[in-house]
Chain A
Amino acid sequence: MSTPTEPTVWGDLDKRFKTDTKKCYYCGICEPLCPAFTPLFKLLSREYEEQGAPATREEFGAIADLCYYCKLCLPACGIGVNFPRLILDYKIARVKERGQTLQNTLLMNQELIGKLSSPVAPIANWALANGLNRRVMEFVVGIDHRRTMPKIAGEPFPRWFKNHPPKKGAGTRKVAIFSGCFTDYYDPAVGIAAVKVLERNGVEMIYPQQRCCGIPMLSEGSLDKALENFKANISVLAPLAKEGYTIVALDGPCAMTFRQEVPQFLGTEDARNVGFRVRDINQYLSEMFKRGELDTNFNPVEGTVAYHASCAAKLQRIETAGFDLLKLIPGLTVARVDKGCCGFDGTFGFKKQTFDLANQVGAELFAWVKSTNAQEAITDCPLCKVQIADGAHVRTAHPVEVIARAYGF
Chain B
Amino acid sequence: MIPETVRQELAGGFAGESQANRKYLFFAKKAEEEINFAPSAEVADLLKEVAELFRETAEEETAHAYAHLVAMEGVHDTLENLKVAFDGETYEYTTMYPASVQAAKAAGREDIARQFESTSSAEKRHAARYERMMQRLKEAYARAN
Asked if residues A28 and B34 are in contact (CB atoms below 8 Å), the reply is no
Check B37–A259 contact: CB distance below 8 A.
yes
Establish whether residues B36 and A276, one from each chain, have CB atoms under 8 Å apart when the complex forms: no
Chain A residues lying within 8 Å of B121, measured Cβ to Cβ, are 28, 31, 41
Give A12-32 interface residues, CB cut-off 8 Å to B: 25-32
A45, chain B: closest CB distance, angstroms:
8
Contact A31 B126, beta carbon cutoff 8 Å: no
| CB atoms of A32 and B37 under 8 A apart | no
Cβ-based interface call for B41 (8 A): yes
Looking at chain A's contact residues, the main secondary structure is: helix
CB distance from B89 to the nearest CB of A (A): 11
Complex Cα distance A26/B111, Å? 20
The answer, among A29, A48, A260, for a CB contact under 8 Å with B36, is A260
Asked whether any CB of chain B lies closer than 8 Å to the CB of A290, the reply is no
Q: Name B's interface SS.
A: helix
Contacts of B111 in A (CB 8 A): 32
Q: How many residues of B contact A (CB 8 A)?
A: 25
A117 within 8 A of B: no
Is the C-beta of A317 less than 8 angstroms from some C-beta in chain B?
Answer: yes
Q: CA–CA, A260 to B44, complex, Å?
A: 13
Bound CA span A48–B132, Å: 11
Contact partner of B39 (CB less than 8 A), chosen from A31, A41, A276, is A276
Q: Are A26 and B128 in contact (CB under 8 A)?
A: no
Interface residues of A in 65-83 (CB under 8 A from B): 75, 78
Asked if B125 and A317 sit within 8 Å, CB to CB, the answer is: no
**A31 contacts B118, C-beta separation under 8 Å:** yes
A interface, size bucket: 20 to 34
A316 within 8 Å of B by Cβ? yes
Convert B82-125 into 0s and 1s, putting 1 for each residue whose CB lies closer than 8 angstroms to a CB of A.
00000000000000000000000000000100110111011001
Which A residues lie within 8 Å of B11 (CB)? none
Closest Cβ neighbor of B29 among chain A residues = A78
B56 smallest CB distance to A (angstroms): 17
Give complex CA distance A276, B35 in Å: 10
Judged by a CB distance under 8 angstroms, whether A352 is at the interface is no
Indicate if B26 sits at the interface (CB-CB under 8 A): yes
A151 interface contact, C-beta 8 A: no
Complex Cα distance A32/B128, Å? Answer: 22
CB <8 Å contact, B26 and A26: no
Q: Besides A29-B119, A276-B40, 13 other CB < 8 A contacts?
A: A26-B125, A26-B126, A27-B122, A28-B121, A28-B125, A29-B122, A31-B114, A31-B118, A32-B114, A32-B115, A78-B26, A276-B38, A316-B37
Please list the residues of chain A having a beta carbon within 8 angstroms of any beta carbon in chain B.
25-32, 41, 48-49, 75, 78, 259-260, 263, 272-273, 275-276, 316-317
